[in-house]
Amino acid sequence: MDQALEGKSGGKSGREGATGGSWIAFVTQPSVKYVGFALLLAWHYALWFVPHMFVQTELLDERVTISWLVNLGATVLFLFLIALVLGRKRHLSSYGWIAWVAPALAAAATLVLCLTPFSFQVPGVAYLLSFILGAAEAALWILWGERYACVKAKFTIKHIGTTFGITLLVCVGLALVLPPYVSTVFTALLPLASGALLMLARRDGERSFPPLLPKNASQGALKSMVTVCAISFVASVAAYFLAAIIPWQVLPTQVSSFTIGILCGAVIMLVLAGISRASKDKVNIFKLYPWLLALEIVAFSLFLADEALYFPAFIMALGISSIFEILLIMYFGILTSKGYNSPALAFSFSGGFVRAGIAVGNTLAVAYEHAPDVAFAITPETCLVLVCVLAALLIPLVRQEFSILALTAAPPSKAEIDEICAEVAKEFSLSARELEILGLIARGYATNTISVKLVISPYTVNTHIRHIYDKMQIHKRSELLNYLNMQRSDF
């Protein structure tokens, strides 16, 4: 009888395990695994861009604008602070409680900020809640970045573009059409859903991060990172200054234009993903950057040309700013998978620079609004200056595109392999014999060939190789060769 019961119990457990396994298999599919991160972005845009989200306060009330700027500043602050505290070796996901607390805190603060009358009647309360929301968002941002690093996500446009585009369209679109209170509750549930997907995804058991390249060997990527971040920051300043300086009262869709701009960005991402799926050639994300800058210049030209063209200029500016954020996520996600940066640093860069640019652009526009006489006189000149800056940025951006592709796609030379082996030996404290064997492995020598060349037994060679694996936290030869190849492959 006991054995029979045990058999039944075991069958049930097996079915539960199969169910759990099927869910894990589902959430780790190439497109589906990005839904959690996309929900985090959808929550941010629905909260700050849907007109009736704050049931007691207008979306364009100055207190809401300041709250949003506080939220952006807090997100940027905590993204970089977390990355600084963690450094190269530690990971935020090691603190399991954060994955529970951050979504719950984000949902609770969203409800209090949006539904309680006193939050904006006492603006300090709204600013504090916005600051808390920024901290929770930064934590979730980096947690998702670490998860994608563990599963070695590819960040291809056809997958991430499809997922982010559909998720933003559905979630932000629903938040727009749902009744006010229902819309707010729905939006507050989005970070909880993101956190739940994160916890479910972590059940796959993947805990190993891509081994970091030695510091000196990864310096080649630093110039590219700084260039892309600086350009994204300036482009975000320009895009959001243009969006914020256009009077929403003259737009045909009035205050809903903010939501439409975000939905437009989602549609553009879907179009890019569709092109990537239909084309035999991969759509390279770096080739999109110059086109986005060119589109920004077009948006400024429309604004300066005629008031009748304000609406397309506004929609283009908002849509482009949201696309920059997604492209930067993809760029740093790729660098993380190749070991150039720790996940925390990479994803703090991906969110921090665009959000900082948006905050600066909006702050500049608010300053102009508070001095209407001066703004009327200098706004056209300011726009022309920004157009010139964007045009000037096209030159280093196009040049940098080729160095990025060379950095990530071209195989390293013999001298580079010798240099990377020397840096690995220094970084991981390899012995002289281990360094010698590492160099031979890098050149494609098999174990038996190494033993003959060094006049030692294959057993001794394998022992040294195991020590190399242990010190570098690498599990097999293919991973080691990929690492010594500086993890270069076509994006």
Question: Is residue 24 one of the residues assigned to a domain?
Answer: no
Residue 367, number of CB atoms within 10 A of its CB:
11
Out of 4-13, 173-182, 327-336, 401-410, least confident range: 4-13
Domain around 450: 414-484
Same domain, residue pair 70 and 174: yes
Q: Is residue 4 part of a domain?
A: no
Percent above pLDDT 90 for the chain: 37
Record the pTM. 0.78
- pLDDT tens sequence across 304-335: 998 889 999 999 998 888 888 888 888 888 77
What sign does the CA torsion over 217, 83, 321, 34 have?
Answer: positive
Token output for 214: 């030695």
Nearest to 50 by CA among 64, 34, 69: 64
**Backbone dihedral region for residue 57 (phi beyond 0: left; psi -120 to 50: alpha; all else: beta):** beta
Question: Does 49 map to a domain?
Answer: yes
Do 463 and 362 share a domain, yes or no?
A: no
Question: Does 418 lie in the same domain as 405?
Answer: no
Residue 140 has pLDDT above 90, yes or no: yes
Confirm whether 12 is domain-assigned: no
Nearest to 184 by CA among 197, 195, 194, 174: 174
Q: Who's near 423: CB < 8 A, 6+ residues apart? A: 213, 214, 215, 216, 217
Q: How far is CA 53 from CA 81, 113, 262, 351, in A?
A: 30, 10, 15, 23
Q: Look at residues 409, 441, 475 and tell me which one is the last residue of a structural domain.
A: 409
Residue where a domain terminates, one of 383, 409, 435: 409
Contact 407, 220 (CB under 8 A): yes
CA distance 229 to 303: 26
Residue 489 has pLDDT above 60, yes or no: no
Tell me: do 385 and 449 sit in the same domain. Answer: no
| pLDDT tens-digit map of 123-135 | 999 999 999 999 9
CA 209 to chain centre: 17
pLDDT digits (tens, 9 = 90+) for 196-208: 999 988 887 677 7
305 CB-near residues (< 8 Å, 6+ apart)? none
Q: Rounded to whole angstroms, how far apart are CA atoms 27 and 116?
A: 35
Instruction: Dig out the tokens for 476 from the structure.
Output: 């097999």
State the total domains in the chain.
2
Q: What is the mean pLDDT of residues 469-478?
A: 79
Per residue in 237-282, pLDDT (tens digit) is: 999 999 988 888 888 888 888 999 999 989 988 888 888 777 655 5
Residue 360 and residue 264 in one domain: yes
* CA-based max dimension of the chain: 90
**CA-closest candidate to residue 93, choices 205, 20, 202:** 202
Indicate the SS3 state at residue 87.
coil
Other beta carbons within 10 angstroms of residue 392's beta carbon come to: 12
Q: Tell me: do 441 and 364 sit in the same domain.
A: no
Residue after which a domain boundary falls, among 409, 443, 463: 409
Looking at the fold, whether 233 and 350 belong to one and the same domain comes out as: yes
